[in-house]
Structure 1
Amino acid sequence: MKLADIAVPETPAARAALEAATAYCSPALLNHSVRSYLWAAAYADARGIAFDAELLYVSAMFHDIGLVAEFDSHTVPFEEAGGHVAWVFCAGAGWPVERRVRASEVIVRHMWDKVDVAEDPEGHLLELSTGLDISGRNPQDWPADLRAEVLEHYPRAGIAEEFAACIKDQEERKPESLAGGFVRGGVAGRIAANALDR
């Protein structure tokens, strides 16, 4: 599989989601969001997992928007804040309520330990792809040539250091969040050891 084989949705909502993410995310966080979609779509294609590409793409663009200063909430975990941003964005895109809720669910669930593919294929795929991109989980599930090509086109640009600092900040301010549990569980070490940065 090559990067060109991964279908990226060309819908108005997908284009607007990328535009919004580009406006608010750092270069490292933006590339992480794009890679998260690409890893997810490639994984699904290789395993015959049917998924809604537009829903997954929009969710990937917003899954970490709650870490950005403009959308960082002092009351809810960053993934929930991101889900709220996505809900509002999707309302503006004309999505029905059920589809807005799905985008929010996919974003919240990307922080879960595991998401059932039968119940939520997009949430399952985003949880797996972000696990690869941030903490280097199961890189063997993606071909080495594809990993190299994606990283060449969408460099990591210091995402390990930036994300580790963001997640530590979340833990300090929201210790009961999933991010807080990740920090206490040693996520900083896994981020630092990510093979994608080698």
Structure 2
Amino acid sequence: MTIHTPKAVAGITLPDSTIAKQATELLLEHGTEFLYNHSLRAFLFAALNARQNKIAHDTELLYVGSVFHDLGLTPHYRSLDKRFEVDGANAARDFLHSHGLSPQALQLVWDTVALHTSPGIAEYKEAEVALLNYGVALDVVGRGYADLSEKHRQDIVKNFPRTDFKKTIIPTFYEGFKHKPDTTFGSINADICACMNPDFHRKDFCDAILHSPWTD
């Protein structure tokens, strides 16, 4: 695995506390170079947004959330029956619990990871939750692309390359939850299943209502 570990990128200093270093080690151990680069880009985009808009936040917790946000896709952390976001959130919470962080910090990071694919909700939560949602969306679908300077984009991608991101991210997502497609109901992940599996049939909420056991 070829990785870059710069001290600062685009004017943003990467956290180097014991917690941050150990979180990064877990990402490198259980993730891939592709997920590592994506996670670090998401953090940097989030941190730049915070700086540009003067959003107060806990940088270390935002970093940990960024590092863990896709670890629920990996064989080590993924479950048989939970959404991948919940698997990642549980892993992040367990990791921080082992470091003795407060219940409030544990819940904040859990929400940050669990809600990173929940547009329309995450942006109204705490700063760290909203920031990671922003950073991930910028990297995956380009939301807020025009708000990022060309210099910052080049600096970030130089250090953490996208490596054919558009063609790689969809199968990467699918690989993480293809064994439990029912967990994608009601989320954007159902689009991934539909894209990758022509035999996938989405559950329909209206059908669920009309076929419930109630008589009226």
Q: TM-score, normalised by structure 2?
A: 0.78
Q: Could you give the per-residue CA deviations for residues 143-180 of structure 1, whole angstroms, max 9, x where no partner exists?
A: 11100110001111344333211323426632442243
* Aligned-partner Cα distance in 1 for 2:158–2:95: 30
Displacement of 1:118: 5.8
What are the within-5 Å matches in structure 2 for residues 142-161 of structure 1? Answer: 142-161=148-167
Displacement of 1:94: 1.8
Structure 1 or 2, whichever has the larger Rg, is 2
Match of 1:50, SS state, is coil
* Aligned-partner Cα distance in 1 for 2:45–2:189: 25
What are the within-5 Å matches in structure 2 for residues 1-198 of structure 1? Answer: 3-115=9-121, 117=123, 119-169=125-175, 170=177, 173-177=180-184, 178-183=187-192
Higher helix proportion: 1
- The number of residue pairs the alignment matches comes to 186
1:32–1:102: structure 2 CA closer, same or farther, 3 Å change rule?
same
Q: Could you give the per-residue CA deviations for residues 21-64 of structure 1, whole angstroms, max 9, x where no partner exists?
A: 11111101001111111110011101111111011000000000
> Is the contact made by 1:51 and 1:122 (CA closer than 8 Å) also made in structure 2?
yes
* Aligned-partner Cα distance in 2 for 1:185–1:47: 37
> Is the contact made by 1:72 and 1:81 (CA closer than 8 Å) also made in structure 2?
yes
Match of 2:76, SS state, is helix
> Is the contact made by 2:123 and 2:133 (CA closer than 8 Å) also made in structure 1?
no
> Is the contact made by 1:109 and 1:127 (CA closer than 8 Å) also made in structure 2?
yes
Unaligned runs of 5+ in 1: 188-198
* Aligned-partner Cα distance in 2 for 1:172–1:137: 29
* Aligned-partner Cα distance in 1 for 2:133–2:96: 21
CA RMSD of aligned residues (A): 2.2
Unaligned runs of 5+ in 2: 1-7, 197-216
Displacement of 1:184: 6.7
Q: TM-score, normalised by structure 1?
A: 0.85
* Aligned-partner Cα distance in 1 for 2:161–2:113: 23
* Aligned-partner Cα distance in 2 for 1:56–1:47: 16
> Is the contact made by 2:65 and 2:113 (CA closer than 8 Å) also made in structure 1?
yes
> Is the contact made by 2:112 and 2:129 (CA closer than 8 Å) also made in structure 1?
yes
* Aligned-partner Cα distance in 2 for 1:14–1:30: 13
* Aligned-partner Cα distance in 1 for 2:141–2:105: 29
1:117–1:164: structure 2 CA closer, same or farther, 3 Å change rule?
closer
* Aligned-partner Cα distance in 2 for 1:93–1:50: 23
